[in-house]
Structure 1
Amino acid sequence: MAIIIMGSVSLIYNAFAISVSERSRHLGMLSSVGATNRQKKKSVFFEGAVIGLISIPIGIICGLAGMGITFYFINSIIQDALGIAEKLTAIVTPFSILIACAVSVLTIFISTYIPAKRASKISAIDAIRQTADVKLTRKVVKTSKMVRKLFGIEAEIGLKNLKRNRRRYQATVFSLVISIVLFLSVVFVTDNLKKALGLSQDGVNYDIQVLLQGEDTRKDEQLIKSIGSLEGVTEYNVVKEMGLSSFISEASIADELRNRAKVDKDMLKNGKLPYDIIIHSLNEENLKAYAKEVGANFEQLTNPKKVSAIVIDTVPYQDMETGKFVETKAIHTKVGHSLDLHYEDGETEEETYVDKVEIAALTDQLPMGVRLDGELAMLDIIVSEQVMEQLISKKDNARVRSKLLLKSTNPLKTQQEIEELKEVGIYVHNVYQTRKRDEQMIVLMSVFIYGFILLITAISIANIFNTISTSISLRKREFAMLKSVGMTPTGFNKMINYESIFYGIKSLLYGLPISIIVMYLIHRSMMNSFDYAFVLPWLIIGYVIAAVFVIVGAAMLYSSSKVKKETIIDALKQESI
């Protein structure tokens, strides 16, 4: 709302500022016949009131129509995303209409206040001579000699024109700067919201998860084959999980834990920190594909004489103090190093040595079916089925949880078929539905945000066209004077083109640094919940740079085409500069 009001105020303010400049001689003439400052101020406010009476009803009607059309197209997305049967409908209440009218009136009042104040101070003699609009000194219009040498006399005249009419030049540059800042800020907010949503959700690369009881291995194997052969199942993976522990040296633990250990010395035992080790086993086919993906040796992983594992060394977690989602290294180690695995007796609290596991590879990539708990002092390792069986045999009363992960062309139908098997002791979770709901929420968010961007873009383009076209139309007499002293149509076009370039360069010199500061502040505000690097949207910035020159050039060409139709004599007769 604040951004829309800012853009609207800028658009309306420039229109009134230029209107007052255009009518300054008329206002001066009114002063000469007795018009008071109060009356001149009221004339500008009256102009704003007339515009409001016409534009506010049209705006409300268009807004309601736009809401109705938007709801019509996104209702199905909202129903799926939120899991509801109700539809969104546009309901008009007198209070909402009053609020819209009040905001519009406030916007118009803010926009007209400064021009009205300026109009009230115009004296008769100054207004008729227009000395306030154009103040010429050699210092003001002085340009570098390099401009003429590099670009010619047309560029020098164009630059002098901009310096001579600083008010109109600054109004146009201000419009462009506001447009650049608004557009880049909104796009940056959109990208950051999507990034934040991605960080807050663990990615899943399967459609259905089936938790098995794990008490009868032979029965579980038969059930896995039955489910894996169902129609629509394209890929499945069985993951067994078991928990052990390991003592990690202070130099190798996560940075965050090392910092805590410096404050709380009791965290460490003999210079080491106990880590929970979650062991995941993959079947031969899936392990071979995963080992190839992360650069591990498959033969090494399946060698029972030398226990080896792939270690997932990166963990995303939520910092409990700041509430931020952070991605960090869970362990600082190297391939070839080993981890000593232990388990703790629940009654005696004694640590029993199980085995030594060598690190075959370090990665941040997860195999299908493995999800991280998002906790520090916890390490997930991937082993073969042979190694898992060997570790299970060395642990008394080992508790192993089995999961069957499926990919399906029709997850809803596959879930129904699994439930129809009526097996006892299994739990089916359709991850596809959750993922689809999250994706639809992103689509829903994108519809509203990009609709907002479209609105901001429309305001910005209208702002630029309005400012430049009005400014050019007020310079008909100026252009006619240049033509009367011998400027050719080609030279005139060059001058207009150079003015467009100067507008664009000046706007970008102000707009881009301000936008970067605003984007950084937005990034800092997002850091209250998430922690990721500040990255500028270079591609979007490139589009903005190109768009500025295209829009300014189009506005200048459109406006100058009207001026070209004027004859020199008719243009010179005009009273306003």
Structure 2
Amino acid sequence: MISTNNRKTIAALAKKSLKANRARNFTIICAIVLTTVLITAVFTMALSINKSMQHAQMQTTGSDYHGSFKYLNPAELEKLKNHPSIKEYGVFLKVGDISTSLFKNNRVEVLRVDENYVKHGFINFIAGGLPSRVDEIVLNTWALDMLGAKHELGQIVKLDIDTGEKVISQDFKISGFYETDQNLAMSGLAFVSEAFTQKNISQIDPDLSEATGSYVNTSDLAVMFNNSYNIEKKVQKILADTGLDVPYGVNPAYTSVSLSENLVNIIPYAVVILITMLSGYLLIYNIFFISVVRDVKFYGLLKTIGTTPRQLKKIISIQARSLYLVALPFGLGFGYLLGLLVLPMANSISSNTSGNVYSASPWIFIGAAAFSFMTVWIAASKPGRMASRTSPVEAVKFAGVSSIGKRKTKKSKHGAKLHNMAFSNLLRSKKKLILMLSSLSLSIILFSTIFTVISSLDVNKYLRAFISGDFVVQNEVLVSIRGARDGDPYKLSEEFANNLSKIDGVESVDKVYYRYVPYPVDDAVRAILEPSAAAADPHPYLLSTLDKGGMIYIKLYGLDPGWYDLLDKDIIEGEFNRQKFSSGKYVIITEANLMEEDSYRSYYHPGDTITFGKSGKSYEVMAVLKNDAVYAATTKAFSVLGYNAFLPAPELQKEIPQGTDPAYIVSATLHVDPTKLDQVEQAAKALTDSTNELTLKSREDYKEELGGFIRIFQTIGYSLSLVIALIGVLNYVNTVLTGVISRRNEFAMLESIGMTKKQLKRMLIYEGLYNVLCTVLITSTLGVLLTYKISKSITEVIAFTVFRMSWLPFIFTVPVMLIIAFAVTLRAYKTISQATIVERLREIE
């Protein structure tokens, strides 16, 4: 066979076919744009959220450096920083701590740093810069506030700096100041000059300082590499090359918060991408399938003149790629903008407080383009194969439906019924019907799932987890939602609580007392933990706990009577008796938090006795609760292998064990006269605003938080449902319109033998109603089952939900589908009725 170069001819045929199908092209472009928009938005959100998480972790760590070498002497520092694999570095020297009494509960570390460290350490000067003179210093704004100094350069502050060997007391001039979050672990930093360190600590031996644990006059070298892959291996290679053995660290922002670190984090994004790809596939495939069916005679004629099957597939492939290239820029652009708009809402659901960090990674566009192309390629490949396999003779005889086996002749005494004809027409092309119903059903199932999850969010359960009265004053030093922070843990004192109770309108104040106590591993504890220790590769902490003298740590809470109503919730064993509990002879415990994920067991059972500390007093276990029971009264943190224990408040106000400091107060809950809520809030706010350690929140504040979460969930969820539904509706419209157009000759023949236009219109309406009925049957059976399974699995992992299955989404979509079906049918009928019967019959010739 003579090989000919006919690529230009094939491309020309594909181009002319595109020009001849403008309506089809527009629909496919819309489908590709919608598909690409959603995929791009998901990639944008995923990478931006990952970057925001990294940024938050970096702020907590103190810099965006990849890693660091710690406690170096000058020789080690010089040797390490000249290694060729280090792209950039910053150095800071440890000087000591500010020991001024004002900073008793807020540690401020004094360092000497270089400009590189400032650049990578999130230190953005409001004014000024690093010090150069011996009497200059840089402080942050909250440190200036504690000193009572103005936010101005040149302010004089008197500070005591403890270097370990001596305390340096002198007046410093502010050479620069910056703002930072006081709750971040690395927020307490002050910077002095090289002149200061030369004068005051240069004589301190860094090796001796490291050995004693003061680390004064030792340097840390923070380093950046070309990329963040395998940071630890790169750090270890530097140590191997230099022959040094010094401590090092790897920035956890590059290892512990990545979405790829835990595959569970990727699942929601993967599900959305798969649903989007499936919806886009159904529409694009259906359009190409219908296009091939409609133009099958054209492809048959091409075969008669020598076009090969491969060339026919190439024609459809070129069309698909051309439409993809036209739609891609719009999809990527709109999708990226959508992702940026949705990101603040998605971030507000999490506890990330560092703000939104937007990613412009090329992987967003590469990934979205690849997934979108994959969808188009898969959707167009099968119709292409179908066109290539059709023989010329079959193509000329093709009428739009396939006949398998012997056709059955239907007999009727009273003539053909319109509804029977409509039902038969519906089943003539089962493949097109299945594709259309799948697309419509998918959007309804997605909508009903999101609706069910949102309707399952329970306001009362949410409130019970945070507040039991009208207002709560919370000790932020103890409550660990965002991690423990510096401050005075006794700021919420008995005196402060008494002042709250004296506010006009406050009916009662319920306090929660707290102690964190070690408990020796007894036989009951050992019986639960030893099987886990015997398993392969047990956790080192578990083994050390089971060693001789090992301890588990218990969080003891003393509750005022106002909390008792929550103690009979989430009971696993036993029952709660208010009078017996108030006697001080009983304790209520929770399940222990074991090493395995979501693994909880109780060491003790009702009737067992427990003795806490050295008091010698034993308590009988009254009941066992779930691990996170009475969450609102706790510090919001749980000790591994330990458990929570609840006693009446007077028991914890006593010294247990003897000679220890008083128990902390975690929170004070205010029960208020409903007519005086506003004035109590103002008075309580005036008290709590005077200190950084305490916060005041009301029931309305928590309701607003949940309302914000619901609004975000609704916006994201319903927007996704709307786009998927739009794809489904486009699929339906395209199927009906092209189906009617491809059968225009058949309808002309029916009219020629006596069918009226009114009857034809009724038959088409029946077909639309059958489509709706089939969709309803699918969604009310399989759809309900899928909605139930998916929604229940989602609500089980979201706190503050009570699963509620609802039929409303399925009922609500029926009239919408009826309206769409009726409107599309009328439009389809109008399309074919414009030509006369004679004109349509002539098309058969």
Shorter-normalised TM range: 0.5 to 0.7
Structure 2 residue aligned with 1:320:
595
Q: Deviations over 1:52-94 (max 9, x none)?
A: 34433433443355456556xx489769964346774x86x88
Structure 1 distance, partners of 2:528, 2:740, is 61
Of the candidates 661, 665, 668, which is equivalent to residue 403 of structure 1?
Answer: 665
Within 5 Å, which residues of 2 pair with 1:436-447? none
* Offset of residue 458 of structure 1: 2.8
Residue 495 of structure 2 is aligned to residue 222 of structure 1 = yes
* Offset of residue 21 of structure 1: 0.6
Cα gap change, 1:204/1:27 in structure 2, threshold over 3 Å: closer, same or farther? Answer: same
Structure 2 residue aligned with 1:271:
none
What is the SS of the residue equivalent to 1:164?
Answer: coil
Residue identity opposite 1:17 in structure 2: F
Residue identity opposite 2:379 in structure 1: S
CA contact (8 A) 2:605 2:623 kept: no
Within 5 Å, which residues of 2 pair with 1:23-38? 23-38=295-310
Identical positions, percent: 15
Cα gap change, 1:343/1:58 in structure 2, threshold over 3 Å: closer, same or farther? Answer: closer
Of the candidates 499, 514, 535, which is equivalent to residue 770 of structure 2?
Answer: 499
* Offset of residue 173 of structure 1: 3.1
Structure 2 residue aligned with 1:135:
403
Residue identity opposite 1:370 in structure 2: T
CA contact (8 A) 1:288 1:298 kept: yes
Structure 2 residue aligned with 1:169:
433
CA contact (8 A) 1:281 1:383 kept: yes
CA contact (8 A) 1:237 1:406 kept: yes
Structure 2 distance, partners of 1:283, 1:510, is 51
Structure 2 distance, partners of 1:99, 1:254, is 51
Residue 822 of structure 2 is aligned to residue 557 of structure 1 = yes
TM-score of the superposed pair, with normalisation by structure 2: 0.48
Residue identity opposite 2:296 in structure 1: S
* Offset of residue 447 of structure 1: 5.3
Structure 1 distance, partners of 2:378, 2:290, is 16
Residue identity opposite 1:499 in structure 2: Y
Residue 305 of structure 2 is aligned to residue 41 of structure 1 = no
Q: What's the RMSD between the two structures over aligned residues?
A: 5.9
Structure 1 distance, partners of 2:603, 2:805, is 32
Structure 1 residue aligned with 2:353:
83
* Offset of residue 220 of structure 1: 4.9
Structure 1 residue aligned with 2:511:
238
Within 5 Å, which residues of 2 pair with 1:239-278? 239-241=512-514
Structure 2 distance, partners of 1:571, 1:158, is 24
Cα gap change, 1:471/1:309 in structure 2, threshold over 3 Å: closer, same or farther? Answer: farther
CA contact (8 A) 1:302 1:384 kept: no
Structure 2 residue aligned with 1:109:
377
CA contact (8 A) 1:238 1:402 kept: no
Residue identity opposite 1:401 in structure 2: A
Of the candidates 538, 542, 564, which is equivalent to residue 805 of structure 2?
Answer: 538
Structure 1 residue aligned with 2:282:
10
* Offset of residue 118 of structure 1: 1.5
* Offset of residue 172 of structure 1: 2.1
Structure 1 distance, partners of 2:389, 2:281, is 22
Structure 2 distance, partners of 1:230, 1:50, is 73
CA contact (8 A) 2:451 2:809 kept: no
Q: Deviations over 1:323-366 (max 9, x none)?
A: 23x56667553xxxx45342455xxxxxx752454739979862
Cα gap change, 1:37/1:401 in structure 2, threshold over 3 Å: closer, same or farther? Answer: same
What is the SS of the residue equivalent to 2:323?
Answer: helix
Residue 622 of structure 2 is aligned to residue 359 of structure 1 = yes
Structure 1 residue aligned with 2:730:
462
Within 5 Å, which residues of 2 pair with 1:95-494? 100-101=368-369, 103-130=371-398, 133-135=401-403, 137=405, 153-176=417-440, 178-179=442-443, 203-205=465-467, 206-209=472-475, 220-229=493-502, 236-241=509-514, 279-283=556-560, 286=562, 300-303=580-583, 307-309=584-586, 311=588, 313=590, 315=591, 318-321=593-596, 323-324=597-598, 332-333=605-606, 338-343=607-612, 345=614, 353-357=616-620, 359=622, 366=630, 369-371=633-635, 374=638, 378=643, 380-383=645-648, 385=650, 392=654, 396-397=658-659, 400-403=662-665, 405-406=667-668, 417-418=687-688, 420=690, 428-430=693-695, 448=716, 451-482=719-750, 484-486=753-755, 489=759, 492=763
CA contact (8 A) 1:312 1:365 kept: no
CA contact (8 A) 1:241 1:278 kept: yes
CA contact (8 A) 1:181 1:512 kept: yes
Structure 2 distance, partners of 1:369, 1:288, is 11
Aligned length: 520
Higher relative contact order (Cα pairs below 8 Å, separated by 6+ residues): 1
Cα gap change, 1:179/1:576 in structure 2, threshold over 3 Å: closer, same or farther? Answer: farther
Structure 2 distance, partners of 1:430, 1:276, is 27
Structure 2 distance, partners of 1:574, 1:312, is 87
Residue identity opposite 1:25 in structure 2: K
Cα gap change, 1:11/1:494 in structure 2, threshold over 3 Å: closer, same or farther? Answer: closer
Q: Deviations over 1:441-468 (max 9, x none)?
A: 8876775555444433332332333333
Within 5 Å, which residues of 2 pair with 1:508-547? 508=779, 512=783, 515=786, 519=790, 538-539=805-806, 543-544=809-810, 547=813
Structure 2 distance, partners of 1:215, 1:158, is 77
CA contact (8 A) 2:280 2:375 kept: yes
TM-score of the superposed pair, with normalisation by structure 1: 0.66
Residue 265 of structure 2 is aligned to residue 20 of structure 1 = no
Structure 2 distance, partners of 1:460, 1:35, is 35
Structure 1 distance, partners of 2:533, 2:373, is 60
Structure 2 distance, partners of 1:437, 1:215, is 26
Structure 2 residue aligned with 1:270:
none
Cα gap change, 1:142/1:353 in structure 2, threshold over 3 Å: closer, same or farther? Answer: farther
Unmatched tracts of structure 1, length 5 or more? 267-273, 346-351, 422-426
CA contact (8 A) 2:611 2:618 kept: yes
Q: Deviations over 1:5-43 (max 9, x none)?
A: 332222111101001111112333344455444443343
Q: Deviations over 1:462-499 (max 9, x none)?
A: 23333333323333344455554447648526632552
CA contact (8 A) 1:81 1:440 kept: no
CA contact (8 A) 2:456 2:804 kept: no
What is the SS of the residue equivalent to 2:427?
Answer: helix
Instruction: Determine which structure has the larger helix proportion and give its number.
Output: 1
Residue identity opposite 1:161 in structure 2: N
Residue identity opposite 1:282 in structure 2: L
CA contact (8 A) 1:415 1:428 kept: no
* Offset of residue 573 of structure 1: 2.1
Structure 2 distance, partners of 1:56, 1:356, is 69
CA contact (8 A) 2:593 2:638 kept: yes
CA contact (8 A) 1:312 1:366 kept: no
CA contact (8 A) 1:154 1:492 kept: yes
* Offset of residue 130 of structure 1: 0.5
Structure 2 distance, partners of 1:138, 1:102, is 45
Cα gap change, 1:182/1:118 in structure 2, threshold over 3 Å: closer, same or farther? Answer: farther
CA contact (8 A) 2:558 2:649 kept: yes
* Offset of residue 542 of structure 1: 5.7
Q: Deviations over 1:242-268 (max 9, x none)?
A: 559799997xx999769769999x9xx
* Offset of residue 126 of structure 1: 1.1
Residue identity opposite 1:461 in structure 2: V
Structure 1 distance, partners of 2:368, 2:305, is 40
What is the SS of the residue equivalent to 2:617?
Answer: strand
Cα gap change, 1:403/1:259 in structure 2, threshold over 3 Å: closer, same or farther? Answer: same
